Amino acid sequence: MKKTGVFYGSTTGTTESVARMIANKLGISSGDVYDVSKLTADVAGSYEALILGTSTWGDGELQDDWYDGIKVLKGMDLSGKTVALFGCGDSESYADTFCDGMGILFNELKDSGCRFIGTVPATDYTYSSSVAVTDDGCFVGLAIDDINESDKTEERITAWMETLKAELA
């Protein structure tokens, strides 16, 4: 498997928990899981693949720690890097901005030279709008609603891991 680092921005702990579940299921050491507030170009540059996770706050905003993290990543040459995204959101209270943070990460990095993997069909989700959904009806990564659909979290992560494993081999 490609050398993979998992980077998350988490305010309440949900995104951190999901990041650690993902790492565990992929067999990634806890030493390769980072709070994005500690992200440096040297750390990110040491990985062939990056799994980036964020929650969505307020009116569809990126989790606070990612504002500096995205600057670090945009200042790097990501050519040849593989990137997978995951986002946590609330599809009931914020149905019109569901997992927008993940979409913001995608939009900020889409011209960086990296290769994105891990899109997920949006058909199994209930929401009204998301900037994380592409024209072909897929999320740019794994969308998690651990508030309203916690019963689907592990199943969604497990299914996503199967698609990522092939891409990260």
Block means of pLDDT (10 residues each) for the chain, 169 residues, are 93 92 93 95 96 92 92 94 96 94 96 95 94 95 94 94 89
In 20-140, at which residue ranges do the beta strands (DSSP E only) sit?
33-35, 49-57, 61-62, 82-88, 115-117, 120-121, 138-139
DSSP code of residue 80? T
Q: Would you state the pLDDT for residue 41?
A: 95
Q: Would you state the pLDDT for residue 13?
A: 85
Output the CA angle 104-106-110, nearest 5 degrees. Answer: 130
Q: Would you state the pLDDT for residue 23?
A: 95
Q: Are 139 and 102 in contact (CB under 8 A)?
A: yes
Domain total of the chain: 1
Q: How far apart are alpha carbons 100 and 56 in whole angstroms?
A: 6
Contacts of 40 (CB under 8 A, 6+ apart): 72
Q: Would you state the pLDDT for residue 34?
A: 96
Q: Using only C-alpha atoms, what is the Rg of the chain?
A: 14
Q: Would you state the pLDDT for residue 1?
A: 84
Q: Which structural domain, as residue segments, surrounds residue 78?
A: 4-168
Q: What is the CATH number of the domain that holds 56?
A: 3.40.50.360
Q: How far apart are alpha carbons 26 and 16 in whole angstroms?
A: 15
Q: Would you state the pLDDT for residue 169?
A: 83
Closest C-alpha among 21, 20, 111, 23 to residue 70: 111
Q: Would you state the pLDDT for residue 117?
A: 96
Q: Would you state the pLDDT for residue 110?
A: 94
